[in-house]
Amino acid sequence: MFCRLMLKDSSSLRLLPTSALEDYFSQIFFHNPWYDESIPSLVYKRTDGRIIGFIGVVPRRMTYHGKAIRVAVSFHFMVDPDSRSSLAGVQILKHFFSGPQDLSITDGAGEIGRKIWEGVGGTTAWAYSLFWTKILRPGQYAAGLIGNRKYFKPFAWAATPFCKIADASTAILAPNIYAPQVDISKEEELDLDVLINHAHHFAQKRSLLPVYEAESLRWLFDQLDQMNYYGALKKILVRDDNGEIIGWFIYYLKPGGTSTVIQFLSNKNSIQTTIDHLFHHARRHNSIALHGRLDPRLMQEFSDNRGYFNRNGSWLLVHSRDLNILHSIQSSEALLTGLEGEFGLLF
């Protein structure tokens, strides 16, 4: 049996051990700026009233060839481990897909979730499921990989000073790869009004675009600011010599670790310059690497800059009854960044 997620049911979920978690569920699923009663979060109840499944849903707004469409972003999809043989997960997704939204998206799925999603009619967005990584300090990056292995931690710790010396050398011997030179006076804090007014200009004529509005964007960035697990949120705008805006990047800066890029947008003719500013900004603030979900249209540029690609992250999955919308995603005609998925909505 399905029902909408209600606040009075939250204690039944047995997933809310603290008041902070209950406040989170209330804020994200009931008080987000896109809230729509016709696209609710769902719980799955057994006949005895026990809740054994849940999918969180947050509506979003996008346009397809300029026409407004309704989007549902799902996350926190879960089923009681003792009830997985009941096919509750399959029934939840089927009910979710039957909603009034034009497009359903999740960008945090694991392998099991992907198989269930595809099994009930969903699709994997293969190109958008790739991640890129750019190593900025190869010595310290290697030491970090070694240090992740339990028995090698002492060796990694002992090698750290030598790795820092090696990284200083790479900036001198291979500056174009590890330490591109930029004019940092061309950087400034990205204002949300600028993002709203310029994002579609930098989207390079894509058919599927997010709708950015002042109220909802401020709310979203308030959520992003609170999620400091990945580091400190940075929003950097880049201008050219004439003072014109050429692009920006939004990312979590993690000194001494790998920083996570949420959104990278640039004028088509200034992609390399904006990439240089991103790499330089992260490196001069002591990040050892950068990574993020790949925008398929930037694959060549990140490859040319010694970025490497992998599939070690979460899957981006989609579902739509409109095959044209699905085609636009599979053909990389969609602007899907970290601002459009679950990233800023997690606890």
Query: Which residues are within 8 A (CB) of 242 and not within 5 positions of it... i.e. 6 or more apart?
Result: none
Residue type, 322: D
Q: How confident is the model at residue 66 (pLDDT cuts 50, 70, 90)?
A: very high
- The ranges assigned to domains in the chain are 2-129, 131-310
pLDDT digits (tens, 9 = 90+) for 290-347: 999 999 999 999 999 999 999 888 999 999 999 999 999 999 999 999 999 998 788 7
When pLDDT is cut at 50, 70 and 90, the band that residue 17 belongs to is: low
Least confident stretch, 21-25, 192-196, 219-223, 294-298: 21-25
Give the CATH architecture of domain 2-129: 3-Layer(aba) Sandwich (3.40)
Q: DSSP of 43-54, one letter per residue?
A: EEE-TTS-EEEE
Exposed (0-12), middle (13-18) or buried (19+): which is 15, by Cβ within 10 Å? middle
CA atoms of 72 and 39, how far apart (whole Å): 7
Compute and round to an integer the Cα radius of gyration of the chain.
Answer: 22
Is residue 56 a contact partner of residue 24, using CB atoms and an 8 Å limit? no
Q: What's the pLDDT at 163?
A: 72
Phi first, then psi: what are they for 343, rounded to 5°? Answer: -55, -50
Would you report the helix, strand and coil content of the chain in percent, each value rounded to 5?
A: 45, 25, 30
Within 13 Å and on the Cβ side, how many CA atoms surround 217?
14
* pLDDT tens, residue by residue, 131-162: 999 999 988 787 777 666 766 667 566 667 76
Average pLDDT value over all residues in the chain: 89
Instruction: From 30, 100, 101, select the one nearest 60 (Cα to Cα).
Output: 101
Class of the CATH-defined domain 131-310? alpha beta
Q: Which amino acid is at 294?
A: L
Residues 170 and 177: beta-carbon distance below 8 Å: yes
Please choose, from the candidates 33, 108, 38, the residue with its C-alpha nearest in 3D space to the C-alpha of residue 75. 108
Q: What is the structure's pLDDT at 11?
A: 35
If we measure between CA atoms, which residue out of 204, 215, 336, 223 comes closest to residue 271?
Answer: 204
Element (H, E) at 143: helix 138-147
Strand partners, 134: 290
Confidence of residue 12 (pLDDT cuts 50, 70, 90): very low
DSSP string, 60-117: EEEEETTEEEEEEEEEEEEE-GGGGGGTHHHHHHHHHHTSS-SEEEEEEE-HHHHHHH
Q: What CA–CA distance (Å, rounded) separates 285 from 244? A: 25
> Percent of the chain scored above 90 by pLDDT?
69
Between 345 and 64, whose confidence is greater? 64
Q: What 3-state DSSP class applies to 273?
A: helix
When pLDDT is cut at 50, 70 and 90, the band that residue 15 belongs to is very low
Partners of 43 in the beta sheet?
Answer: 3, 54
Q: How confident is the model at residue 9 (pLDDT cuts 50, 70, 90)?
A: very low
The pLDDT tens digits for 219-270 are: 999 999 988 889 999 999 999 999 999 999 999 999 999 999 999 999 999 9
Predicted pLDDT at 14: 43
Rounded-to-integer distance, Cα 190 and Cα 138, Å: 29
pTM over 0.85: yes
Q: Between 344 and 62, where is the model more confident?
A: 62
- Do the domains 131-310 and 2-129 match in fold? yes
Beta bridge partners of 171: none
> What mean pLDDT is predicted for residues 33-60?
93
DSSP state for residue 132 in the 8-state scheme: E
Are the CB atoms for 85 and 111 separated by under 8 Å? no
